[in-house]
């Protein structure tokens, strides 16, 4: 079978769960199939669309889209009109005719044009789309509004005005797609600039105020956000079959268009069976070791967790300690070190040590998180998880037996944490149950599921 994937690119230039998953899937598929990657690359002058072959990577044939659609990543969009420009469809048609793939597997709408989808349909090529995030439905990717609430209604594009006010300029997007940036991305200077930009964005969202709504609505720009969503919806309507990585993702996409597809939880190549019995302190007067892994952001639920723990303290419950592994903090002095330890960023190789000092991992996401690899990683170590109802990973646990699920309500999270502090045997039982389940989360097994998904839409086995 000849499989063409469209994703953001390769590591280390691209990072995150989408890149990790798509590259691991391609690598696993390449053992039995011909696998190709098309990714949005650099901008050149003149700005004419073309596709160039790059050096292969771990058995993957790599192609670069020159002068792609703009790639905004998580930074938002302040010029929607620039993301809807028409391009020469024949470039995509000729590429697909030359490659002759059996299936087109899209992992993101970023960087590609509607004409790619139209070319695939003209050539009767089946299109599969994996729902890693909500780009296309939301310029900021996560469907969280400027007040850190799930965006159920973008108010005819008016809500997008506030969310995207700090989006990168077009020249900066061009720079970030350049070869030079790839080489300098991890330099001290560029890291410092990213730190400043991220810090600026956080300061604007950490404390929502009544002044978040623009005093003067730019209706012309708001209408462009309507057009932008419709542009991407028209692309999604050309998808033959959706691979939903969770029931959460399926529910959200189903609010915007009729979708046909299947929920298949995802994995990656580093997921192996590391399960073991953990020592969990029986004494409820000893601190419960709670762990949070991920960005210290509103949409990830860190501050929601902090407020829930504060509620415990107000109720006289002090027998807990939160270990935080993630990015920077601006206000460490405001956190009592008796209850909070900030350990900075972590590497995947640190997980064994982290989980060895964890009684329960809390995943408190406020956004409708399409999956959440950290939950699967904890499961692979046999670590109990307490996850919000918004986390797609919840599909992989049985509430009360192999994990726990809480509603987005500070009282519910605080009550469940207090219950665990007072009843440590619950966590011991969850750990024991995790040790007894069938561990079927390897990348090899997942890849077979995806190949079978292709076959469900009539993709035949080729060379």
As a three-state string, the secondary structure of the chain is CEEEEECCCCCCCCCCHHHHHHHHHHHHHCCCCEEEEEEECCCCCCCCCEEEECCCECCEEEEEEECCCCCCCCCCCCCHHHHCCCCCHHHHHHHHHHHCCCEEEECCCCCCCHHHHHHHHHCCCEEEEECCCCCCCCCCCCCECCCCCECCCCCCCHHHHHHCCCCCCHHHHHHHCCHHHHHHCCCHHHHHHHHHHHHHHHHHHCCCCHHHCCCCCCHHHHHHHHHHHHHHHHHHCCCCEEEECCHHHHHHHCCCCCCCEEECCCCCCCCCCCCCCCCCCCCCCCCEEEEEECCCCCCCCHHHHHHHHHHHHHCCCCCEEEEEECCCCCCHHHCCCCCEEECCCCCHHHHHHHHHCCCEEEECCCCCECCCHHHHHHHHCCCCEEEECCEHHHHHCCECCCEEEECCCHHHHHHHHHHHHHCCHHHHHHHHHHHHCCCCCCHHHHHHHHHHHHHHCCCCCCC
Q: What is the pLDDT of residues 332-362, one digit of tens each?
A: 778 999 999 999 999 999 999 999 999 999 9
**pLDDT exceeds 60 at position 215:** no
φ, ψ at 391 (rounded to 5°): -95, 125
Q: Is the pLDDT of residue 364 over 70?
A: yes
Which bin fits 400, alpha (ψ -120 to 50), beta or left (φ > 0)? Answer: left
Q: Assess whether 254 and 303 both reside in one domain.
A: no
Q: Is the pLDDT at 194 greater than 70, yes or no?
A: no
Range of the domain at 344: 288-436
Q: What is the pLDDT of residue 200?
A: 57
- Is the pLDDT score of 39 beyond 90? yes
Same domain, 306 and 253: no
Residue 462 is assigned to a structural domain of this protein: no
User: What pLDDT does 334 receive?
Assistant: 85
Confidence of residue 211 (pLDDT cuts 50, 70, 90): very low
The count of structural domains within the chain is 2
Would the pLDDT of 108 be above 90?
A: yes
What CATH number is attached to the domain comprising 393? Answer: 3.40.50.2000
Percent of residues, the chain, with pLDDT higher than 90: 83
Query: What number is the average pLDDT over the span 99-126?
Result: 98
How does residue 12 score in pLDDT terms, banded at 50, 70 and 90? confident
Which pLDDT does position 212 carry in this prediction? 47
Mean pLDDT across 153-176: 94
Within-domain flag for 6? yes
Check pLDDT > 70 for residue 462.
no
* pLDDT beyond 60 at 196: no
Domain contains 170: yes
Q: Are residues 452 and 418 in the same domain?
A: no
234 with 206, same domain? yes
In angstroms, rounded to a whole number, what is the distance separating the alpha carbons of residues 32 and 248? 31
pLDDT of residue 205: 47
Average predicted confidence (pLDDT) for the chain: 92
107 and 54, same structural domain? Answer: yes
Contact (Cβ atoms closer than 8 angstroms) between residue 380 and residue 429: no
Residues 127-156, mean pLDDT to the nearest whole number: 96
Residue 217 has pLDDT above 50, yes or no: yes
| Average pLDDT estimate for 46-51 | 92
Would you say residue 220 has pLDDT above 60?
yes
**Non-local CB neighbours of 400 within 8 Å, separated by 6+ positions:** none
Angle (CA) 244-247-250 rounded to 5° is 55
Are 344 and 324 in a shared domain?
yes
pLDDT band at 277 (very low <50, low <70, confident <90, very high): confident
Residues 113 and 186 in one domain: yes
pLDDT bracket for residue 203 (50, 70, 90): low
Look at residue 156 and tell me if it is in a domain.
yes
277 belongs to a structural domain = no
- pLDDT at position 185 is 64
State the Cα–Cα distance between residues 146 and 162, nearest whole angstrom: 6
pLDDT in tens, 257-270: 999 999 999 999 99
Q: How far is CA 17 from CA 77, 121, 144, 371, in A?
A: 22, 28, 19, 9
Residue 107 binned pLDDT confidence (cut-offs 50, 70, 90): very high
- Looking at the fold, whether 190 and 297 belong to one and the same domain comes out as no
Instruction: Kindly give, in sequence order, each residue whose CB lies less than 8 Å from that of residue 256, ignoring residues fewer than 6 positions away.
Output: 137, 233, 236
237-250 pLDDT tens trace? 999 999 999 999 99
256 and 138 in a common domain: yes
**Residue 329 maps to a domain:** yes
The region, left, alpha or beta by phi > 0 then psi within -120 to 50, assigned to residue 340 is beta
Confirm whether 198 is domain-assigned. yes
Is residue 198 scored above 70 in pLDDT?
no
In a domain, 275, yes or no: no
**313 and 432 in a common domain:** yes
pTM (predicted TM-score): 0.92
Q: Considering the chain, what percentage of its residues have pLDDT values greater than 70?
A: 92
Answer yes or no: is pLDDT of 71 > 70.
yes
**Spatial separation of the C-alpha atoms in residues 430 and 418, rounded to whole Å:** 17
Residue 208, pLDDT above cutoff 50: no
Above 50 in pLDDT, residue 463?
no
Q: Are residues 429 and 349 in the same domain?
A: yes
What pLDDT is attached to residue 193? Answer: 53
Rounded to 5°, angle at Cα 230 from 228 and 233: 115
Mark whether 117 and 222 lie in a shared domain: yes
Between 187 and 292, the higher pLDDT residue: 292
d(CA 349, CA 357) in angstroms, rounded, equals 15
């Amino acid at each position: 079978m000849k499989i063409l994937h469209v994703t953001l690119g390769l590591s280390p230039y691209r990072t995150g769960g989408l890149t990790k998953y798509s590259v691991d899937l391609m690598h696993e598929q390449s053992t039995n199939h011909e696998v190709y990657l098309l990714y949005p690359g650099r901008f050149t002058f003149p700005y004419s669309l073309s596709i160039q072959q790059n050096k292969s990577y771990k058995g993957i044939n790599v192609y670069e889209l020159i002068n792609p659609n703009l790639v905004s990543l998580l930074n938002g969009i302040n010029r929607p009109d620039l993301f809807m420009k028409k391009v020469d469809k024949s470039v995509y048609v000729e590429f697909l005719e030359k490659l002759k793939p059996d299936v087109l597997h899209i992992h993101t709408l970023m960087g590609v044009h509607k004409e790619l989808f139209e070319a695939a349909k003209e050539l009767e090529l089946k299109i599969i789309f994996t729902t890693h995030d909500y780009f296309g439905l939301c310029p900021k990717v996560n469907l969280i509004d400027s007040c850190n609430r799930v965006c159920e209604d973008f108010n005819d594009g008016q809500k997008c005005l506030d969310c995207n006010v700090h989006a990168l300029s077009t020249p900066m997007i061009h720079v970030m797609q350049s070869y030079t940036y790839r080489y300098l991305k991890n330099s001290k200077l560029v890291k410092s600039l990213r730190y400043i930009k991220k810090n600026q964005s956080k300061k604007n969202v950490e404390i929502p105020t009544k002044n978040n709504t623009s005093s003067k609505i730019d209706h012309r720009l708001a209408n462009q956000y309507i057009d932008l969503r419709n542009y991407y919806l028209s692309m999604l309507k050309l998808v033959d079959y959706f691979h939903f990585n969770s029931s959460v993702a399926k529910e959200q996409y189903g609010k915007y268009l009729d979708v046909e597809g299947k929920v298949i939880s995802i994995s990656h190549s580093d997921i192996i069976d590391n399960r073991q019995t953990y020592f969990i302190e029986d004494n409820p007067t000893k601190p419960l070791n709670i762990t949070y892994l991920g960005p210290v952001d509103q949409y990830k639920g860190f501050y929601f967790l902090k407020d829930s723990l504060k509620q415990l303290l107000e109720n006289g419950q002090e027998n807990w300690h939160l270990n935080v592994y993630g990015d920077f903090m601006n206000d460490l002095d405001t956190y009592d070190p008796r209850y909070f330890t900030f350990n900075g960023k972590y590497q995947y190789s640190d997980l064994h040590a982290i989980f060895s000092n964890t009684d329960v991992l809390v995943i408190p996401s406020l956004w409708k998180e399409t999956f959440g690899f950290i939950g699967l990683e904890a499961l692979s170590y046999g670590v109990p998880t307490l996850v919000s109802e918004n986390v797609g990973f919840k599909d992989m646990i049985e509430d009360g037996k192999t994990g726990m699920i809480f509603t987005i309500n500070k009282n519910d999270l605080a009550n469940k944490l207090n219950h665990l502090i007072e009843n440590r045997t619950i966590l011991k039982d969850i750990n024991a149950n995790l040790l007894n389940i069938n561990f079927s989360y390897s990348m090899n097994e997942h890849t077979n599921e995806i190949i079978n998904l292709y076959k469900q839409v009539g993709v035949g086995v080729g060379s």
